[in-house]
Structure 1
Amino acid sequence: MGRLLLACAASLALYFSAFTWLLDRPLTLGALRARIEANIALGEAIQQPKLVILAGSNGPYSHRCETIGPIIGRPCINAGVAVGVGLDYLFTRWKKLLHPGDMVYLPLEEAQYVRPRATTELGPDASIMLRHDRATLATLPPRRRIAALFAGDLRGVIMSLIETALTDDGFHDPRVAAEGGTNAWGDHVGHTVALAALNRAALAAITPVHPTAAEIRDGYGSDLVAGFLDWADRSGVRAIGGLPTGFADSPIADDSLAAIRAIYRDHGASFVELPNHSRYPRSAFFDTQDHLNEAAQIRHSFAIAKALSRLTEQQQARSR
C-alpha cells in the first residue's frame, strides 16, 4: 500500500512539474498570452485617464480604438482577447491598471455571461497562469488554483511537443496573412472585405444560439461581471456596458437584452446601446457573428464613440 501511495505521489509530482515548468503551447496559448501581455504593457504605459475595452474577440475584431480614442478625447486600449479566456483573470489583471477617472467599456459576448464556472476555471488562461503568471494565479480563489494544476491532459502534452518543435524549427504562422494582425491599440486590423469574401459560405451557414434571460441572470459569467462592476463603482472607475455585434437576421430576444442591461443598471454602471442593437447584415462580418470585417468595424466604432461621447456629456451635465 505504501508503494502504491508513493507511486501516486511521484506521478502527481511529475505531472505538476511538467505542466508548471516544462510543457508549453507557444503557437496557440502563446499567441493569447502575447496579446494579453501587450495590452497590459500598453495599459501600464498610459498614465492619463483612458478607455479600456474588455470583451472576447468581439472587442478587437468589431471595435477599433484607433477610431474611438480621438473622438472621445482619451487614449483607448482594446484589451479584448477571446471568449475562452476567463473574465476573472482579465478583471484581476486590469484592476491593477485602472484608476479613478478611467472608463471601461464592456461589449461582452452573450456566451461570456452564461459560461459555466468549471469551463471558466479550466480555460486557456489556467495553463497560461500555471506556466507563466503564477503571481496572478496566487491571488485567485483556492478552487481556481487547484483547477489550474489539473488543467493539463494528454492532448496538451502532445500539442506542446508539436508546437515547441515547430517553433524551434522556425515555423511561420500563416494566420496574419489569412486573418490580419493587430495594431498599436490592440485592434484587429487587416480583416478586409476581400478576405471576408472567402468566408461567405461559412457565414451564411452559421445559426447563432442566444442564451435565455434566465440563463443570463443565473450565469456564472454574470456574477463575475457584477463583482467587477461593484469594484469599479467603489474605485471611481466608470464601467459602461454594451452589446456585442451580431447578425441582424438573428437578434437577441427582448427579455435577454433586458437581463443584460439589468446587470449593469443594478451595479452602478451605465449602458450604451445603438439604435440597431449592434446588429448588422451578414455581409458586414468577417468569419463569425462576433467579428465585423474591417470596414464595418470602423463604422461601428465611430457610432460607439459618438454614443460614449453623448453619455459622458449627459453625465457631466447632470453632475453640474
Structure 2
Amino acid sequence: MKKFLLKCTLFATGIGTLFIILLIYKVSTENPFSVLFHLKNRQLVQLSNEPKMIIIGGSNARYGFDSRFLEKKLGRPVINAAITYHQGLAYYLEWSKKHLKAGDYVLLSPEYTLSSSREGLFGTHKLIDVAYQNKDFRNFLLSDSRILFNQLIQTHSIVNQSMESLLTNDPEKKELLASHNLHGDAINCIGKSKNFVPTKITIQKPDQQYFELLNEYAAFCRSKGVKVFISFPPARKKSVTMEIAPSAVVAQTKQKVSDFTVLNTPESALYPDRYFFDSSYHLNQDGKQLHTQQVYTNLQQILSKQNDPLLID
C-alpha cells in the first residue's frame, strides 16, 4: 500500500511539473515580455561574480532609470531587471535571489499596486490565481521551501534559454527587444507618445503581506551581505489620488522594514505631464534623467556616510 501511495505521489508530482512547464512554455511563446526576461536573466548570469546593482520593480522602473548613468557614477555594473507588475513582486524578489552576491546593491522601485493588492504581490497569471484560493497559500509562499515559485523560476529560465531564436524571430518581440538597451532600460520614450494613457494611481496603505515579503527578502539579503534601497516610483502628479498621507507610507516603510534604506518620498517622485511618455508611470527621456539624478543624489549621500569604497563621486 505504501509503495502504491508513493507511486501515486510521484506520478502527481510529475504531472504537476509537466503542467507548470507547459504553462510557462505557453506564456513564454505568447507573452512578448518573455524576451526581456530572457535578456535580463542572461545579463545577470554573466555578471554573477561582479559587485553590481540590480533594479527591481514593474514597468515604472524600466522607464524610470538611466542605468548607464548609475553605472558610471557607482563604478559597478547596473542591470535594470524590472519588467512589468503583472508577474508580481513576490516573483521578482524570489527570482533575484539566485543572482545576488556579497557586496551587491538592490534598488527596489515597486508601483503602489505592488504594495497594496493581491495581484501586485503575487501576480496576475492563472496559476497563482488558482493557488491563491487556498487559505494556506500565503504561508506557503513565505515558507522556506518556496517550492512553487522556485519551480516557476527554474522552468521559466530553462524554457527561455532554449527558445532564444523563437523569441527573437517574432516581430513583436524583436521590436520590444530593440526598444531596450543592454542594461534593460526602455529607450523608446522620447517626448510624449500619441498613445498616452493617463492611468489612475492611488497611494493607499500598504498590505501587511507586502511588509512580510520585504522583511523575508531583507533577511535573505542581510545574510548575503547585500544592501537594499527602496525608491518610491515616479508618477504623474495629476493622476495620483492619496488615501493615506505620503508621510505615513514613508514612516510605515521605515518602521516595518528597518533593513531597507528609503531613498525618497512619494511627493518627491511626483512629476508634471511633460515628463511622461505613454502612461502615468512611464517617464520619457527627460523625466528619466531627472528621476535618476534625484535618486542618485540621495543614494550618493547615504553611501558617502557609509564610506562605500566603490562610490566614484
TM-score (norm 1): 0.70
State the alpha-carbon separation in 1 of the partners of residues 266 and 64 from structure 2: 17
Whole-angstrom distance in 1 between the partners of 2:170 and 2:119: 35
CA displacement, residues 205-228 of structure 1 (integer Å, 9 cap, x when unaligned) = x4x241422xx1x34333212211
Indicate whether 1:141 and 2:146 are aligned.
yes
RMSD: 3.7
- Tell me if the contact between 1:88 and 1:224 (Cα under 8 Å) persists in the aligned partners: yes
Report the Cα offset of residue 119 of structure 1: 7.3
Could you tell me the TM-score, scaled by structure 2's length? Answer: 0.71
**Is 1:226 aligned to residue 219 of structure 2?**
no
2-side partners of 1:191 and 1:180: how far apart?
A: 12
Which blocks of at least 5 consecutive residues in structure 2 are unaligned? 1-13, 130-143, 153-165, 309-313
Q: Give, as a single letter, the amino acid of the residue that structure 2 aligns with 1:210.
A: T
The aligned residue for residue 249 of structure 2 is 259
Pairwise CA distance, 1:77: 0.7
Taking every aligned residue pair, what percent have the same amino acid on both sides? 18
SS in 1 for 2:86: coil
Residue in 2 aligned with 1:112?
114
Q: 1:1-80 counterparts in 2 under 5 A?
A: 20-21=21-22, 24-26=26-28, 28-29=30-31, 31-46=32-47, 47-80=49-82
Give the residue type in structure 2 aligned to 1:176: E
Cα pair 1:274 1:304 within 8 Å, conserved: no
Q: Is the 8 A contact 1:63 1:298 kept in 2?
A: yes
Distance verdict in 2 for CA 1:198–1:312, change over 3 Å = same
Which of structures 1 and 2 has the bigger CA Rg?
A: 1
Aligned partners of 1:247 and 1:281 also within 8 Å: yes
Structure 1 match to 2:230: 241
Note the C-alpha offset of 1:102.
0.9
Count of residues in Structure 1 that have an aligned counterpart in Structure 2: 266
Helix, strand or coil: the match of 1:287? Answer: strand
Instruction: Give the deviation of 1:258 after TM superposition.
Output: 2.7
Deviation track 1:239-286 (CA, whole Å, cap 9, x = no partner) reads 011110112235564634433553345331111016952111122111
Letter in 1 for 2:96: W
* Residue 204 of structure 2 corresponds to residue 188 of structure 1: no
Distance 1:83 1:140 in 2: 24
Q: What does residue 89 of structure 2 align with?
A: 87
Asked whether the 8 Å contact 2:89–2:110 carries over to 1, the reply is: no
Report the CA distance shift for 1:312/1:252 in structure 2 as closer, same or farther (over 3 A). farther
> 5+ unaligned residues in a row in structure 1: which ranges?
1-12, 128-138, 149-166
2:138 corresponds in structure 1 to none
Is the 1:54–1:108 contact (alpha carbons within 8 Å) kept by the matching residues of 2? Answer: yes
Partners of 2:56 and 2:81 within 8 A in 1? yes
Structure 2 counterpart SS, 1:105: strand
Residue by residue over 1:101-126, the C-alpha shift from the partner in whole angstroms, topping out at 9 and shown as x without a partner, is 11111111101011217972653786
Tell whether 2:297 aligns with 1:306.
Answer: yes
